[in-house]
Amino acid sequence: MIKEKDFSAKLAEARDYIKECVRMSPDLGVILGSGLGAFAELVLEKQAIPYKDIPHFPTSTVEGHAGQLVFGKVDGRQVVVMQGRFHFYEGYNMHDVTFPIRVMQGLGVTGLVVTNAAGGINPDFQPGDLILIKDHINMMGDNPLRGANLSSLGPRFPDLSAAYNLEWRQKALVIMQNYGLRPQEGVYAAMSGPSYETPAEIRYLRAIGADMVGMSTVPEVIVANHGGMQVLGISCVTNMAAGILAQKLSHVEVMETAGRIEKQFVSFVQELVRVL
């Protein structure tokens, strides 16, 4: 059970520690998913704080995640970048998974770009495609807002009917067109993982309207919306989901595909930081 006083105090400690380390007030946060960490290299006047140094921050364990909060400027705009995120499948609870979003909220962040690696369910997608998230389906069996509501952070029953900001999506689609990327959108289904899905689960997800599947993003997006942030979500299709092609899924394939499109991805996010 989330205890209001404890949680607020932890948040304040984390925020105050960061404020002592960096004299910046970014309004935009970026979460870099598996294999997509290279964007952090674009950040100038960089100040990186390892997660392990921030009070009450969980630490990231999965391969491909550096585990640090990077502050700095991209094209003159102040940003805070999560290089590596906390996954529900690692064993963290939903409050831990979303703690960094709350800290960003405390630091004055009002917009969030969330990225992930995902399996493609929609047969129009191909490995290597970047897809804008237009909506999500929470299949994780939990919700980060369960428990007492901290009204200082947001409302008890937040509206998610436009969880992925329409205006931002439209801007992102224009950028995709300009960059020669196919301007595609889809619905992201979040599973708890860590096992990949079965072909039957993928057929089910397809039937209920999902275009891609992953093991992250939804908790952070729920909390960001609760905290009044505007959100843009991008999935990198690293593989076709289970049963779509006659081949096995592997984390190696996921990381390889992410690596292959990393340059495109980095330019895309850089342009987003300019226009959002």
Which phi and psi angles does 56 have, rounded to 5°?
70, 0
DSSP 261: T
Q: Kindly tell me which residue out of 215, 222, 266, 269 binds ligand HPA, with binding defined by CB under 6 A.
A: 215
The burial class, CB within 10 Å (0-12 / 13-18 / 19+), for 200 is exposed
Q: Is 238 in the site for ligand HPA (CB under 6 A)?
A: yes
Strand pairing class (212-214; 184-190): parallel
Q: Does 118 qualify as catalytic in the annotation? A: no
| Residue 36 near ligand HPA by CB under 6 A | no
Number of residues that bind ligand HPA (CB under 6 A): 13
The reply to whether 41 belongs to the active site is no
User: What is the rounded distance in angstroms from the CA atom of residue 50 to the CA atom of residue 47?
Assistant: 10
Does 119 participate in binding ligand HPA (rule CB under 6 A)?
Answer: yes
Based on the residue annotation, tell me whether 117 is a catalytic residue of this protein.
yes
Of 37-45, 47-55, 96-104, 113-121, the segment contacting ligand HPA by CB under 6 A is: 113-121
Would residue 253 show up in a list of annotated catalytic residues for this protein? no
* Smallest gap from residue 29 Cβ to ligand HPA (A): 21
Q: Which of 8, 38, 66, 89 is catalytic?
A: 89
Neighbours of 149 (CB within 10 A): 16
CA distances 268 to 14, 21, 74, 134, 172, Å, are: 30, 29, 12, 17, 8
Binding residue for ligand HPA, selected from 14, 82, 117, 223, defined by CB under 6 A: 117
CA 244 to chain centre: 25
**Nearer Cβ to ligand HPA (105/239):** 239
For ligand HPA, the binding residues (CB under 6 A) are 117-119, 196-197, 213-215, 238-239, 241, 249, 254
Positions marked catalytic = 34, 65, 87, 89-90, 117, 215-216, 239, 251
